[in-house]
Chains A and B, each alone.
Chain A
Amino acid sequence: MDLHVELPGLHLKNPIIPASGCFGFGREFAELYDLSLLGGIAIKSATPQERFGNPTPRIADTPMGMLNAIGLQNHGVDYIIENELPFLAQFDTEILANVAGSSEEDYVEVIQKLNDQPVVKAYELNISCPNVKLGGIGLGTNPELASHVTRICKAAAKKPVYVKLTPNVTDIVSIAKAVETAGADGLVLINTLLGMKIDLKTRKPVLANTTGGLSGPAIHPIAIRIVYQCAKAVNIPIIGVGGVQNAEDAVEFLNAGASAVEVGAQNFVDPYICKEIIEELPKILQKYGYRTLNEAIGRSL
C-alpha cells in the first residue's frame, strides 16, 4: 500500500516520525534497525549554545505514561552540524530539526545556522517545552508571542517551519490560528502536559525540577482532541504526536486530521516501535477500508 505523504519540505515515504527528544540523533536506534525505514526523524532540540539541562532525577514513571524534565540538554547547534548531521545524512529519511532557545534571537540563530544544511528539510519550532524557564513554553502559551516568534523565524528560515504547540493553555485553537496567520507551514500537536509526582516516603517531588512533561498513552486522547479541534480551524497540515503505541493509534491521529504522526515515549518502552508501526500500518489501514494512507487523513472531521 502507498504510505507516502507530501508535506511542506517533507517527502515522507510513510507518516511515521520519531518525536524530538525521544530518539536523540538516531545513533542509538541505528544499532537496532535501519533508519531509512522511517518517514522522517524529528531530531533532539538544538539551541545556540550547549545546555546541560536540569538536575537529575529527570525521569519518573506514571500510570500509562512518564514524566520527563530533561531541560533541552544538547551540545549546541554547531556541534550538531559538525557531528550529528553528517551521521544522519547517510539515511534515506527526512530530517525535521527541532529548534529551541531562551529568546527569539536564539531561534533565529539556530535557524540561520541550519539553513545551509541540506540534510535538514524543515524546522520544528519548540515553543512548548515545559521544562525550561525562558523561551520554551513561555512563548507558546500566548497567541501574540507565538505569532511573533513564528513570524521572525519564518523570515529567517529558508525551509518550511512547523510550530510545535503546548497543550498547557486555555485555548489552543486561538494559538494555532495565530501561528497559521503568522506564516507557519504546519503544526506539530502536541508537546507534553505539565505534571508532577511526589514520593510518599520522602514527601518530595520525584523530579529534581519539581515538575515535568507528561507523555505516553495517558495523553493520547488529549492529543487526538487537540488535533481534531485545530484541524477544523486551520488550513495548514498537522503532525500529530502524543501517546502513540501502535498503528491503530497512528490511524486515529490521521482520522482526527493529522497528515503524519510522531512517536515519542513509546520508543523507550519498545525500541523497535516505529519500525513495527510502519510494518503494521498497511494491514490496519486495509482493515478499516482504506486503499491509500491519504484516504484516512481527516476522515473524522
Chain B
Amino acid sequence: MKCSDAKILRNEKITSDIYRIELETSLSPLVKPGQFVQVQIPGFYLRRPISVCETNDNTMVLIYKTVGAGTEAMHAMRPGERINLFGPLGRGFPIEEKDVVLIGGGIGIPPLVETAKAYRKNGRHVTAVLGFNTKEQIFLRERLTELECYVVVATMDGTEGVHGTVLDAIQSKNISTSFVEACGPMSMLKAVSSVCQGYISLESRMACGIGACMGCVMKDKDGESLRVCKDGPVFEIGRMAL
C-alpha cells in the first residue's frame, strides 16, 4: 500500500447516480480482486473508501455512486486533474481453484469485475448474477459479458431479466450456490448467506482504512469485533453476525 496522486483519464456518468472514473496510477499493479482504495476528494476531510472495479497495467477503474457531497464533488472532477489515492487496502476475494458464482447488488457489483478477470484468467467458469431495482440502473453487464462470464440480471420491478432478487434469479436459472462471492446491500448479503457458501464483501463507514481507528468494526458470530477495513472487507460466509 502507498499514497500516490492519480491522474484522471475519464470521469463519466453511467446511470442516473453512478459514475465511472478511470485513473492513471502506480497503485494499479498492487491491487488484488476485491480490495479498495481511500480516495482524497479535494475539499473534504476524510478519505472515501471505494472498491477497485478493475485495473490494467497503470490504470484503475473505480465505479462510485453519488451518495453525498463528497461523491458529488468527485463527479465534478475533470480529466487531467489529480486525485490522491491510498491503497490498495483490505483483504479481497480469495481466488480459489474452482468455478465461481459472483453475486452483486447495485453499487456492490464493481469489485466483482477484477474478481471475474482473475477467475477467467485461471480458465474457470464464472457466473455473474447482478441485481438492480430497475432496467435503467443496469451497469457492468456488458463488461462482464466481454469477460466471458455467464451473466444473469434480476430487477426488482421485472423490467429486465428475472423479476425479483438475485436469489430469485439463482433459483429460476438453477444456478449453483456451493461457491459464491458476493457484494451488495446488507439485505442481499444476509439472504445470500442463508443459502450459499463462499465469501461476502461488507461495507462500513471508516476513517483510517488500515485497522487503527476501530471506526468500522463489526462483530463475528463469537462476539469478537473485526475491522471491515483490515480483517475484511471480504469475510467467509457464516463468520460474521450480520
Contacts and interface: CB of A to CB of B under 8 A. Distances in A.
Partners in one complex: yes
Contacts of A58: 205, 214-217
B153 to A, nearest CB: 27
Contact of B230 (A21, A28, A269): A28
A269 B213 contact: no
A62 B45 CA distance: 7
24 contacts: A22-B208, A24-B211, A28-B208, A28-B210, A53-B217, A56-B204, A56-B205, A56-B215, A56-B217, A58-B205, A58-B215, A59-B205, A59-B206, A59-B213, A59-B216, A60-B205, A61-B70, A68-B213, A73-B214, A73-B225, A265-B45, A267-B208, A268-B212, A268-B213
Interface residues of B, number: 28
A23 interface: yes
Given A58-B214, A59-B206, 5 more contacts: A24-B214, A52-B225, A59-B46, A216-B45, A269-B45
A214 B129 CA distance: 42
B98 interface: no
B47 interface: yes
Interface of B: 1, 3, 40, 44-47, 70, 86, 204-219, 223, 225, 230
Most buried by B among A28, A62, A66: A28
Contact of A63 (B45, B211, B218): B45
Interface of A: 21-24, 27-29, 31-32, 44, 52-53, 56-66, 68, 70, 73, 216-217, 265, 267-272
Contacts of B86: 271
Contacts of A59: 46, 205-207, 213, 215-216
Closest 5 CB pairs between A and B? Answer: A24-B212, A59-B215, A61-B46, A57-B205, A28-B210
A21 B213 contact: yes
Contacts of A65: 45
A31 B1 contact: yes
A268 B207 contact: yes
Contacts of B205: 56-60
Contacts of B219: 52
Chain B binding surface, main DSSP class: loop
Contacts of A27: 211-212
A265 B46 CA distance: 9
Most buried by B among A57, A59, A268, A272: A268
Contacts of B40: 269
A271 B1 CA distance: 11
Contact of A22 (B3, B209, B213, B216): B213
Given A22-B213, A56-B218, A59-B207, A272 B3 contact: yes
A68 B207 contact: yes
Given A59-B206, A269-B40, A270-B3, A29 B45 contact: no
B214 A269 contact: no
Nearest to A23: B212
A271 B2 CA distance: 9
A59 B206 CA distance: 6
Nearest to B48: A61
Contacts of A217: 45
Given A59-B46, A64-B45, A268-B46, A29 B212 contact: yes
B221 to A, nearest CB: 15
A61 B45 contact: yes
Contacts of B218: 56
A216 B47 CA distance: 13
Given A52-B225, A56-B216, A70-B213, A268 B44 contact: no
B3 A61 contact: no
Given A66-B46, A217-B45, A269-B46, A22 B212 contact: yes
Nearest to A60: B205
Contacts of B204: 56-57
Contacts of B45: 61-66, 216-217, 265, 269
A158 B27 CA distance: 48
Contacts of B214: 24, 44, 53, 58, 70, 73
A58 B217 CA distance: 9
A286 B95 CA distance: 53
A246 to B, nearest CB: 14
A273 to B, nearest CB: 10
Contacts of B223: 52
Nearest to B223: A52
A59 B229 CA distance: 13
Contacts of A68: 207, 213, 215
B162 to A, nearest CB: 29
